[in-house]
Structure formats: C-alpha cells, structure tokens
Amino acid sequence: MPESRRTPFTQTNTAVLLIDHQVNLFTGVRDIDVNELKHNVVGLARAAQALDLPIVAVTTARDSMWGPTIPELRDALGGQEILDRSTVNAWDDERFVALVEQTGRDHLVIAGLSFEVCASLPAISARDNGFQSVIALDACGTFSHHKREAGLARLTTLGIEVSDYATTMVEIMGDNADPRAAAVYAALDMPFATLMGQVAGALV
C-alpha cells in the first residue's frame, strides 16, 4: 500500500494537472456556475505560473467529441502544448504519465472536468503509484449535484484530499514575505486577495 501520511505541498515538490477543461464539456456543467469555474481554473493556472510550478494540461477526444480547451485557459497557458488522448482516465495514457514524471514532482494539484471522472480517476491512479494528490474542487465541474456528492463520498472513502484552488496555492506559497506573494494573490483574483493587496499598499 502507498504511504498514507500527508506531507506538505511546496514550491519544490508540486506540479499542477489540468485535465479536460474543454468547451463542449463546459456546456453540461451543473454543479457550479460556468463563469465561476472558468475564473477558478484560470486563477489556478496563473497562480501556479507565479510560483513556477510545472503544469501538465491534457484533453480527451478534442477533435471528435469534447472540443478544444476553453479559450480563457488556453490564453493563460500561453503557447504550452496540451496533450490530447483517448483514454477516460488520463493516467492510462503513458504519454501523460511520462509528462507528469518528467516534472520531477511527487505532489500533484489536480483539477478536471468532470470532477468524479477526469480529476478523481487520475488522482486515484497517481496515489496508487506513489504520488500525493489534492483535488482543487472549485476548479472542477460535473453534470449534476448528485454526481458531485457521489464523487466526494468516493474520495473520502479512499482518503484522497479535496480542497479549493486558492487555499491550495496559498499553502504552496507558504510565506507572505515571499517576493512572489503579490503575484500569487493577484492571480487568485479572490476578494481576500484584493484585501491583501490593499493591506500591503497601506504598509508601504
């Protein structure tokens, strides 16, 4: 069995996996407002970039079924290549696993659409292969509240961590004295991040 003890997510041990944030899949999202979901996954990507975390982005059947990555996320990723695959579980694609392993990181922040398939199945497989994962729930979406609840129950049973994108990125940042802190909070684009900017400005 894999080691179950949680160790911290840091700037040197963590990579971010963005799985199947595709145009046609977004049309079926029912558990979170679509605009909020776009905001959150873009914020996750930008905060990861601010912290110099490796990002592995992937789609499934983009030319035949689910369409391209949403434009907002493509723009945030710049010219980064986005791997396309056919497997339901991204971890079943050897090219995807190779990209994850090439990051040299063994802690993974995972977001995907749908949550209970595209994020959860790779998290389960990664855990079974010695990685420690946390799913950024509010950067995921699915097709009903029942599916969301069932997915959460499964992950709870399996002991896989679930959090939100902003908390996860702030934990990884680790210290508000970090010279990248302002960029991280700006990338998160949350009300508390705006407050932090105001406080920092007042202290100057």
- Both structure tokens of 189: 């684009």
Taking the alpha carbons at both ends of the chain, their separation in whole angstroms is 51
Q: Residue 116's closest CA among 90, 87, 154, 84?
A: 154
What residues does 109 pair with on adjacent strands?
16, 134
What residues does 29 pair with on adjacent strands?
none
Catalytic residue annotation: 118
Q: Residue 42's closest CA among 166, 156, 126?
A: 166
Whether residue 136 contacts residue 163, with contact meaning beta carbons closer than 8 Å, is answered with yes
* DSSP summary character for residue 119: I
> 71-93: b or e for each residue (b if 16 or more CB lie within 10 Å)?
eebbebbeeeebebbeeebbbeb
What is the distance between the alpha carbons of residues 69 and 62, in angstroms, rounded to a whole number? 8
